[in-house]
Amino acid sequence: MLKLGVNIDHVATLREARYRGSEHGEPDPVEAARVCEAAGAHGITAHLREDRRHIQDRDVWRLRETIRTRLNLEMANVPEIVEIALRLKPEIVCLVPERRREVTTEGGLDVAGHLAALTETRQCLNDAGIEVSLFIAPDAAQVEASARTGSQFIELHTGAFAEAFADATRRAQELARLIAAANQAHALGLHVNAGHGLNYLNLAALNAVPHLVELNIGHSIISRAVFTGLERAVKDMLALMASYPG
Protein backbone atom coordinates (compact mmCIF):
# COMPACT_ATOMS: atom_id res chain seq x y z
CA MET A 1 0.00 0.00 0.00
CA LEU A 2 1.31 3.43 -0.95
CA LYS A 3 1.54 5.61 2.16
CA LEU A 4 0.71 9.29 2.54
CA GLY A 5 2.77 11.69 4.61
CA VAL A 6 1.03 15.06 4.97
CA ASN A 7 3.29 18.10 5.13
CA ILE A 8 1.80 20.64 7.55
CA ASP A 9 4.27 23.47 6.86
CA HIS A 10 1.63 25.51 5.02
CA VAL A 11 -0.64 25.49 8.06
CA ALA A 12 2.21 27.07 10.02
CA THR A 13 2.82 29.53 7.16
CA LEU A 14 -0.74 30.80 7.50
CA ARG A 15 -0.36 31.13 11.26
CA GLU A 16 2.93 33.02 10.97
CA ALA A 17 1.40 35.49 8.49
CA ARG A 18 -0.71 36.84 11.35
CA TYR A 19 1.04 35.73 14.56
CA ARG A 20 4.74 35.92 13.73
CA GLY A 21 6.78 36.17 16.93
CA SER A 22 3.87 35.13 19.14
CA GLU A 23 3.73 32.02 21.30
CA HIS A 24 0.16 31.37 20.19
CA GLY A 25 -1.94 31.76 17.08
CA GLU A 26 -4.10 29.98 14.57
CA PRO A 27 -4.31 27.73 12.66
CA ASP A 28 -2.40 25.27 14.83
CA PRO A 29 -0.22 22.86 12.79
CA VAL A 30 -0.32 20.30 15.59
CA GLU A 31 -4.11 20.23 15.50
CA ALA A 32 -3.85 19.90 11.72
CA ALA A 33 -1.61 16.88 12.23
CA ARG A 34 -4.25 15.31 14.50
CA VAL A 35 -6.93 15.78 11.85
CA CYS A 36 -4.70 14.32 9.13
CA GLU A 37 -3.95 11.25 11.25
CA ALA A 38 -7.64 10.76 12.05
CA ALA A 39 -8.40 10.97 8.32
CA GLY A 40 -5.98 8.14 7.60
CA ALA A 41 -2.62 9.78 6.88
CA HIS A 42 0.29 7.42 7.54
CA GLY A 43 2.68 10.11 8.74
CA ILE A 44 3.25 13.82 9.32
CA THR A 45 6.01 15.85 7.69
CA ALA A 46 7.33 19.15 9.03
CA HIS A 47 10.32 21.19 7.84
CA LEU A 48 12.20 22.99 10.60
CA ARG A 49 14.04 25.63 8.60
CA GLU A 50 17.04 27.57 9.84
CA ASP A 51 15.11 30.84 9.49
CA ARG A 52 12.01 29.38 11.23
CA ARG A 53 9.76 30.90 8.58
CA HIS A 54 6.87 28.55 9.33
CA ILE A 55 7.38 25.56 11.66
CA GLN A 56 8.78 26.66 15.03
CA ASP A 57 10.77 24.67 17.57
CA ARG A 58 7.74 24.42 19.86
CA ASP A 59 5.77 22.85 17.00
CA VAL A 60 8.15 19.94 16.48
CA TRP A 61 8.26 19.16 20.19
CA ARG A 62 4.47 19.20 20.41
CA LEU A 63 4.27 17.05 17.30
CA ARG A 64 6.66 14.56 18.87
CA GLU A 65 4.38 14.34 21.92
CA THR A 66 1.13 14.23 19.96
CA ILE A 67 1.19 12.27 16.72
CA ARG A 68 0.67 8.53 16.77
CA THR A 69 1.84 7.62 13.27
CA ARG A 70 5.29 8.68 12.04
CA LEU A 71 7.10 12.01 12.27
CA ASN A 72 9.23 12.92 9.27
CA LEU A 73 11.46 15.92 10.02
CA GLU A 74 12.70 17.71 6.91
CA MET A 75 15.88 19.64 7.60
CA ALA A 76 19.10 21.01 6.20
CA ASN A 77 22.37 19.34 7.10
CA VAL A 78 23.47 22.01 9.58
CA PRO A 79 24.73 21.43 13.14
CA GLU A 80 21.96 23.33 14.96
CA ILE A 81 19.13 21.38 13.32
CA VAL A 82 20.98 18.06 13.49
CA GLU A 83 21.32 18.57 17.25
CA ILE A 84 17.59 19.23 17.56
CA ALA A 85 16.84 16.09 15.54
CA LEU A 86 19.05 13.99 17.79
CA ARG A 87 17.09 15.15 20.84
CA LEU A 88 13.68 15.08 19.15
CA LYS A 89 14.11 11.58 17.70
CA PRO A 90 11.65 11.64 14.81
CA GLU A 91 11.13 8.27 13.14
CA ILE A 92 12.82 9.59 10.00
CA VAL A 93 14.75 12.65 8.88
CA CYS A 94 14.71 13.85 5.28
CA LEU A 95 17.80 15.92 4.49
CA VAL A 96 17.01 18.66 1.99
CA PRO A 97 18.85 21.61 0.44
CA GLU A 98 17.85 24.94 1.91
CA ARG A 99 18.26 28.48 0.62
CA ARG A 100 16.96 31.54 2.45
CA ARG A 101 15.40 33.24 -0.58
CA GLU A 102 13.49 30.27 -1.94
CA VAL A 103 9.73 30.09 -1.42
CA THR A 104 9.86 26.31 -1.07
CA THR A 105 12.58 23.71 -1.49
CA GLU A 106 14.01 24.09 -4.99
CA GLY A 107 15.89 21.15 -6.48
CA GLY A 108 17.47 18.19 -4.79
CA LEU A 109 20.57 17.66 -2.69
CA ASP A 110 23.94 17.42 -4.37
CA VAL A 111 24.76 14.18 -2.62
CA ALA A 112 27.65 13.35 -4.94
CA GLY A 113 29.28 16.69 -4.12
CA HIS A 114 28.82 16.40 -0.34
CA LEU A 115 29.24 12.68 0.14
CA ALA A 116 31.45 12.75 3.23
CA ALA A 117 29.38 15.30 5.15
CA LEU A 118 26.08 13.58 4.41
CA THR A 119 27.51 10.17 5.28
CA GLU A 120 28.70 11.51 8.64
CA THR A 121 25.29 12.98 9.45
CA ARG A 122 23.53 9.84 8.28
CA GLN A 123 25.68 7.74 10.62
CA CYS A 124 25.03 10.09 13.53
CA LEU A 125 21.27 9.99 13.00
CA ASN A 126 21.20 6.23 12.47
CA ASP A 127 23.18 5.73 15.67
CA ALA A 128 20.36 7.58 17.45
CA GLY A 129 17.77 5.23 15.95
CA ILE A 130 16.57 7.67 13.27
CA GLU A 131 16.16 6.57 9.66
CA VAL A 132 17.53 8.89 6.98
CA SER A 133 16.15 9.92 3.61
CA LEU A 134 17.87 12.14 1.05
CA PHE A 135 15.79 14.48 -1.12
CA ILE A 136 17.26 14.20 -4.61
CA ALA A 137 16.48 14.82 -8.25
CA PRO A 138 15.87 11.67 -10.31
CA ASP A 139 19.47 11.61 -11.48
CA ALA A 140 21.56 8.44 -11.73
CA ALA A 141 24.67 9.97 -10.17
CA GLN A 142 22.70 11.27 -7.18
CA VAL A 143 20.92 7.95 -6.67
CA GLU A 144 24.23 6.10 -6.71
CA ALA A 145 25.79 8.59 -4.28
CA SER A 146 22.78 8.28 -1.97
CA ALA A 147 23.33 4.55 -1.73
CA ARG A 148 26.99 5.16 -0.91
CA THR A 149 26.02 7.31 2.10
CA GLY A 150 24.29 4.32 3.66
CA SER A 151 20.93 6.11 3.84
CA GLN A 152 17.79 4.02 4.11
CA PHE A 153 15.58 6.10 1.81
CA ILE A 154 15.65 8.58 -0.99
CA GLU A 155 12.81 10.97 -1.73
CA LEU A 156 12.57 11.68 -5.43
CA HIS A 157 11.97 15.36 -6.20
CA THR A 158 8.88 15.37 -8.43
CA GLY A 159 8.89 19.12 -9.04
CA ALA A 160 10.11 18.92 -12.64
CA PHE A 161 7.47 16.29 -13.37
CA ALA A 162 4.76 18.50 -11.85
CA GLU A 163 5.90 21.56 -13.80
CA ALA A 164 5.95 19.57 -17.05
CA PHE A 165 2.61 17.89 -16.50
CA ALA A 166 0.61 20.03 -18.97
CA ASP A 167 3.06 19.22 -21.79
CA ALA A 168 2.65 15.58 -22.82
CA THR A 169 6.14 15.25 -24.27
CA ARG A 170 7.92 16.80 -21.30
CA ARG A 171 5.68 14.91 -18.88
CA ALA A 172 6.70 11.61 -20.49
CA GLN A 173 10.37 12.57 -20.26
CA GLU A 174 10.17 13.47 -16.58
CA LEU A 175 8.15 10.37 -15.81
CA ALA A 176 10.81 8.25 -17.51
CA ARG A 177 13.47 9.87 -15.30
CA LEU A 178 11.46 9.03 -12.19
CA ILE A 179 10.94 5.43 -13.31
CA ALA A 180 14.64 4.96 -14.05
CA ALA A 181 15.69 6.49 -10.72
CA ALA A 182 13.21 4.38 -8.75
CA ASN A 183 14.41 1.19 -10.43
CA GLN A 184 18.05 2.10 -9.83
CA ALA A 185 17.42 2.96 -6.18
CA HIS A 186 15.54 -0.27 -5.58
CA ALA A 187 18.36 -2.27 -7.14
CA LEU A 188 20.81 -0.52 -4.78
CA GLY A 189 18.74 -1.41 -1.72
CA LEU A 190 17.20 2.01 -1.15
CA HIS A 191 13.55 2.58 -0.25
CA VAL A 192 11.87 5.16 -2.47
CA ASN A 193 9.61 8.04 -1.43
CA ALA A 194 8.54 10.95 -3.63
CA GLY A 195 7.22 14.46 -3.27
CA HIS A 196 7.04 18.09 -4.40
CA GLY A 197 4.32 19.60 -6.56
CA LEU A 198 2.09 16.53 -6.41
CA ASN A 199 -1.64 17.24 -6.54
CA TYR A 200 -5.05 15.74 -7.24
CA LEU A 201 -4.59 16.07 -11.02
CA ASN A 202 -1.07 14.73 -11.61
CA LEU A 203 -0.99 12.01 -8.96
CA ALA A 204 -2.41 9.19 -11.08
CA ALA A 205 0.51 9.41 -13.52
CA LEU A 206 2.85 8.32 -10.72
CA ASN A 207 1.29 4.86 -10.88
CA ALA A 208 3.89 4.20 -13.57
CA VAL A 209 6.74 4.74 -11.10
CA PRO A 210 7.66 1.45 -9.38
CA HIS A 211 8.78 0.75 -5.80
CA LEU A 212 7.23 3.83 -4.19
CA VAL A 213 6.76 3.56 -0.44
CA GLU A 214 5.39 6.97 0.55
CA LEU A 215 4.34 10.27 -1.00
CA ASN A 216 4.86 13.48 0.96
CA ILE A 217 2.26 16.05 -0.04
CA GLY A 218 1.42 19.36 1.58
CA HIS A 219 0.41 22.38 -0.45
CA SER A 220 -2.26 20.71 -2.56
CA ILE A 221 -3.95 19.10 0.45
CA ILE A 222 -3.95 22.31 2.48
CA SER A 223 -5.23 24.26 -0.55
CA ARG A 224 -8.14 21.86 -1.04
CA ALA A 225 -8.85 21.98 2.68
CA VAL A 226 -9.80 25.66 2.35
CA PHE A 227 -12.87 24.52 0.39
CA THR A 228 -13.56 21.00 1.64
CA GLY A 229 -12.06 20.84 5.11
CA LEU A 230 -8.83 19.09 6.00
CA GLU A 231 -10.30 15.66 6.79
CA ARG A 232 -12.03 15.47 3.41
CA ALA A 233 -8.93 16.71 1.57
CA VAL A 234 -6.78 13.96 3.12
CA LYS A 235 -9.36 11.27 2.40
CA ASP A 236 -9.67 12.43 -1.22
CA MET A 237 -5.90 12.14 -1.67
CA LEU A 238 -5.83 8.69 -0.08
CA ALA A 239 -8.60 7.55 -2.42
CA LEU A 240 -6.53 8.60 -5.43
CA MET A 241 -3.48 6.80 -4.06
CA ALA A 242 -5.41 3.56 -3.57
CA SER A 243 -4.99 2.73 -7.27
CA TYR A 244 -1.18 2.52 -7.00
CA PRO A 245 -0.24 -0.99 -8.14
CA GLY A 246 2.50 -1.41 -5.56
**Backbone torsions φ then ψ of 136, nearest 5 degrees:** -135, 155
Selecting among 10, 37, 42, 47, the annotated active-site residue is 47
Is 47 a catalytic site residue? yes
| Whole-angstrom distance, CA of residue 184 vs CA of residue 189 | 9
Cα separation values, 4 from 48, 67, 102, 124, 133, Å:
20, 15, 25, 27, 15
Q: How many C-beta atoms surround the C-beta of residue 220 within 10 A?
A: 20
Measured over all CA atoms, what is the biggest interatomic distance in the chain, rounded to whole angstroms?
49
Active site residue 114: no
Axis crossing angle, helix 9-19 with helix 219-228, rounded to the nearest 10? 70
Q: Is 196 part of the annotated catalytic residue set? A: yes
Q: Is the peptide bond before 245 cis (omega within 30 degrees of 0)?
A: no
Could you say which of 74, 131, 155, 214 is catalytic? 74
- Annotated catalytic residue: which of 42, 191, 196, 214? 196
Residues 47 and 45: their CA atoms lie apart, in Å, by 7
- The residues carrying an active-site annotation are 47, 74, 196
